[in-house]
């Protein structure tokens, strides 16, 4: 096997050493920020084909979030939409010769999963308040507190390893096929990469959305039950 295909490159800035994952991730973020700025400057009532395409993408994301989050859509859309767009770009960047998808690195997927983990709690505390939010870990019985905490951690770890494993296996499969068949079948390999990259981005973003929205709705139901119990006791 040609080990050159597995080598990583680095940029050294004094004592700081930046890996290809960091460099490509920063490049993606810069490109997306620049694209968003340029598109925002050229918005008009009579949309061009480019603006219409962007509005179509926004509408699809909005519909997907609304189907799951309901009345929390406006609050969750910026985070989930940004996460989806970044994942699509990060997964697809691997088709560019000489570049590797950052999501093939466990550090990236772990960082994204940790971001989702923090978002679940941030949105929960934001909507319910700290005390009421923390109380839901004691439901339906305080003895389940350790299990609820372990569940939070395990699903975060599972998200990180799921995306990492799928993207890594996709890259290795494409590399092995090209080594065996040469460049006789580059188009099917390319199409497989694109489809799988989009699917993995969708799955990760949807899981994040379900976890956040599910937590908000569970807390809302528990808050209603608590209010009902209070009203009943007052009567």
Please say whether the beta carbons of 65 and 77 come within 8 A.
yes
In a domain, 147, yes or no: yes
Residues of the chain under the 50 pLDDT cut? 1-7
Identify the pLDDT of residue 224: 57
Q: Which domain holds residue 176?
A: 9-234
Portion of the chain with pLDDT greater than 90, in percent: 34
Residue 7: predicted pLDDT: 46
Structure tokens that stand for 114 in this block? 């940790």
Other residues' Cβ atoms within 10 Å of the Cβ of residue 21: 20
* CB contact set of 173 (below 8 Å; sequence gap of 6+): none
Task: Check residue 194 and give its pLDDT.
Answer: 85
Query: Is there a domain that residue 3 lies in?
Result: no
- Given this model, what pLDDT does residue 161 score? 93
Q: What length is written for the chain?
A: 235
Residue 1, domain member (yes or no): no
Distance, C-alpha 21 to centroid of its chain = 16
* Helix or strand holding residue 202 (H, E): helix 186-234
**Predicted local confidence at residue 109, as pLDDT:** 94
Domain count, the chain: 1
pLDDT at 108: 92
Q: How many whole angstroms from its chain centre is CA 71?
A: 21
Helix and strand element counts for the chain (H, E): 7, 2
Q: Is residue 224 part of a domain?
A: yes
Look up the pTM and report it.
Answer: 0.82
> On the CB side of 16, how many CA atoms lie within 13 Å of its CA?
4
4 within domain boundaries? no
Residue 188 domain-assigned?
yes
The pLDDT score that the predictor gives to residue 203 is 94
Q: Does the residue 86 lie in any domain?
A: yes
């Amino acid at each position: 096997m040609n080990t050159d295909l597995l080598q990583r490159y680095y940029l050294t800035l004094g004592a700081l050493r930046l890996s290809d994952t960091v460099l490509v991730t920063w490049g993606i973020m810069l490109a997306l920020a620049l694209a968003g700025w340029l598109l925002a400057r050229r918005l008009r009532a009579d949309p061009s084909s480019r603006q219409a395409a962007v509005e179509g993408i926004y509408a699809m994301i909005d519909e997907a979030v609304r189907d799951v989050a309901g009345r929390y859509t406006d609050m969750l859309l910026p985070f989930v939409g940004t996460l989806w767009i970044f994942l699509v770009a990060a997964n697809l960047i691997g088709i560019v010769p000489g570049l590797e998808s950052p999501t093939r690195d466990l550090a990236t997927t772990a960082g994204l999963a940790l971001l989702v983990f923090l978002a679940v709690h941030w949105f929960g505390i934001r909507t319910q308040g700290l005390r009421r939010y923390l109380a839901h870990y004691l439901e339906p019985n305080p003895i389940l507190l350790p299990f609820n905490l372990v569940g939070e951690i395990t699903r975060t770890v599972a998200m990180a390893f799921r995306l990492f494993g799928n993207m890594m296996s996709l890259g290795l499969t494409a590399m092995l096929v090209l080594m065996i068949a040469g460049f006789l079948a580059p188009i099917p390999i390319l199409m497989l990469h694109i489809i799988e990259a989009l699917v993995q981005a969708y799955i990760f973003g949807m899981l994040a959305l379900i976890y956040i929205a599910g937590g908000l709705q569970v807390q809302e139901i528990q808050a209603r039950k608590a209010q009902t119990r209070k009203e009943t006791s007052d009567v």
